[in-house]
Structure 1
Amino acid sequence: MSATTAGPAPTAAPAKAPKVETPFRRFVSEFFESKIATGALLVFVCIVLVAVLAPVISPQNPYDLAQLDIMDGRLEPGSRNADDTMTYWLGTDDQGRDMLSGIMYGLRISLIVGAGSAIAAALIGASLGMLAAYAGGRTDTVIMRLVDLQLSFPTILSALMILAFLGKGIMNVVFALIVVEWAYYARTVRGTALVERRREYIEAAQCLALPTRRIIFRHLLPNCMPPLIVVGTIQIARAIALEATLSFLGLGVPITEPSLGLLIANGYEYMLSGKYWISFYPGIALLITIVSINLVGDHLRDVLNPRLKK
């Protein structure tokens, strides 16, 4: 009887390397823990998609005179047009324009003005804030006195004075919003940069005789981004609301390129006669846009600031 030879011992399966939790993964997981913030982000993404795709998905180009039904389609609360080819789901205004299409196109102007002015103001304010914190001395004093001077004036009053001088127009509105917003970014970034410039990595960069511009934009700026992102998110919503206010007062964008604020203003005189939908639906769209951005910004503040975590 032959002896059986034992085979080689089975080798153990290699253990899987644990997943490394990067700061980005941690941020994403913490952000999406909040159902409210996740829902607000989804709503805002849908609003942006609707605004971008407005020429494709809108039932009507509300600013093409050939598509307007001025004679028989004015001030309708919600019906089909005279040719029975299109349904006005949200009614029409005093020019026979489809309100749903007007809101889609109005969202484009509001988002462009709000986001464009906020980004430009962030670039200017963040640069001046970091320069003030890093340079110190007379440079810091001059920049911060300008910030204090800007913040001492009411925002809406400053914007009204600028537009009263420059006149209507999208670029004029953007310029006015940049002028009244940059100081918020400068003060926020300066406060963060004053703390960061005392860190060891800044001292090491200075000992290596790196150029000042590289120290500021390659080392100091990335560590000032969390509060800048939070402020920027809130300021976008604020800029959209301010642009709507200026357009409602007649000093915003021109009639040929109306935003949500101008749509609300167009129906204001018809509110007492019961034709509420002209102002009501653009107002609801503006409210949803601002609230969704604010909810995302508030949660970003909680996630990016460890001191605010419960």
Structure 2
Amino acid sequence: MRQFSRSPLALIGLVLITLIVLLAIFAPVLSPQNPYDLMQLDIMDGRMPPGSEASAGFTFLFGSDNQGRDMLSAILHGLRISLIVGLGSAAIAFIIGTAFGLTAAYVGGKVETAMMRIVDLQLSFPTILSALLILALLGKSVGNVVFAIVLVEWATYARTARGAALTELRREYVEAARSLRLPHRNILFRQLLPNCLSPLVVLLTMQVARAITLEATLSFLGLGVPVTEPSLGLLISSGYEFMLSGTYWIALFPGIALLVTIFAINLVGDRLRQLLDPKAAPK
């Protein structure tokens, strides 16, 4: 933490991430309007510019969309969906891919070759096209988006985990554990895994940002989350058609929120890479 705090950009990223997470958690309290409650929406408030007065008495700080939905409230709730998808899918893919890669390296031989061919096959498919195909078959829902992203991202963790494990398997502590005939599960997850975590933690940080971006892309293309649970990507998509008419704020402010979120995560991820990657000298 002392080395991490030496980077002003990393600290800025950490503060931004903390603020974004808190805003998402307390969105129902901080939002002047519940964007999911149709009783609180007034079509007469549709496409109001920033700073306009709503019929309910509060101010549209970021304007309103075509349904009379307060954009600030929609962004705060959209942050929740984007973070749930990003964090959830990255965590699940991390667990599956890490376990798969460690097992392949530990078993070795023909089994390892067969397991890694599965990984290579998965990585050979274009990520966005694979996710689009999965969602076209399963339909729109937050759970299906998480499932699709996990299916297209787990192989990246598997390859990274295998590469790190192959180096660690040559270490003396692994040979000692094997000579003591410790259970394979003990060697894998208590001896091997902790020493392979450095590159995986860096990858996890980057993949959270990637998952949020992928979800936003899928939602923008119309195959992501449903309209009843709008994420930042879906908010951008819904406002894109009004850009040419001058109603810029419907897409602009969700886009800024998405940009700041990805930027903050990448700042922290870059610093972690500098600290945990032995080939990169921390500044």
TM-score, structure 1 as length reference: 0.89
Over the aligned positions, Cα root-mean-square deviation in angstroms equals: 0.8
- Indicate the residue corresponding to 2:114 in structure 1: 142
Partner-residue secondary structure (3-state), 1:254: coil
Alignment of 1:87-126 (within 5 A): 87-126=59-98
Moved over 6 A (4+): none
Task: Give the superposition deviation at 1:138.
Answer: 1.5
Partner-residue secondary structure (3-state), 1:272: helix
Which is bigger in relative contact order (C-alpha 8 A, separation at least 6)? 2
Highest CA radius of gyration, 1 or 2? 1
Out of 38, 43, 46, the position equivalent to 2:19 is 46
- Indicate the residue corresponding to 1:269 in structure 2: 241
- Indicate the residue corresponding to 1:300 in structure 2: 272
- Indicate the residue corresponding to 1:62 in structure 2: 35
Partner-residue secondary structure (3-state), 2:101: helix
- Indicate the residue corresponding to 2:221 in structure 1: 249
Alignment of 1:202-241 (within 5 A): 202-241=174-213
- Give the aligned residue type for 1:202: V
Between the aligned partners of 2:30 and 2:143, the Cα distance in structure 1 is 27
Task: Give the superposition deviation at 1:306.
Answer: 2.6
Between the aligned partners of 1:30 and 1:292, the Cα distance in structure 2 is 18
Between the aligned partners of 2:187 and 2:280, the Cα distance in structure 1 is 29
Cα distance per residue 1:101-130 (max 9 Å; x no partner): 000000000000110000000000000000
- Indicate the residue corresponding to 1:13 in structure 2: none
Identity %: 63
Greater helix content: 2
TM-score, structure 2 as length reference: 0.98
| Structure 2 residue ranges without an equivalent (≥5) | none
Cα distance per residue 1:185-218 (max 9 Å; x no partner): 0011100000001100000000000010110000
Count how many residue pairs are aligned between Structure 1 and Structure 2: 281
Between the aligned partners of 2:115 and 2:60, the Cα distance in structure 1 is 53
- Give the aligned residue type for 1:81: A
Task: Give the superposition deviation at 1:272.
Answer: 0.4
Cα distance per residue 1:160-209 (max 9 Å; x no partner): 01011111111110100000000110011100000001100000000000
- Give the aligned residue type for 2:59: T
Matched, 1:286 2:258: yes
- Indicate the residue corresponding to 2:54 in structure 1: 81
Partner-residue secondary structure (3-state), 1:37: helix
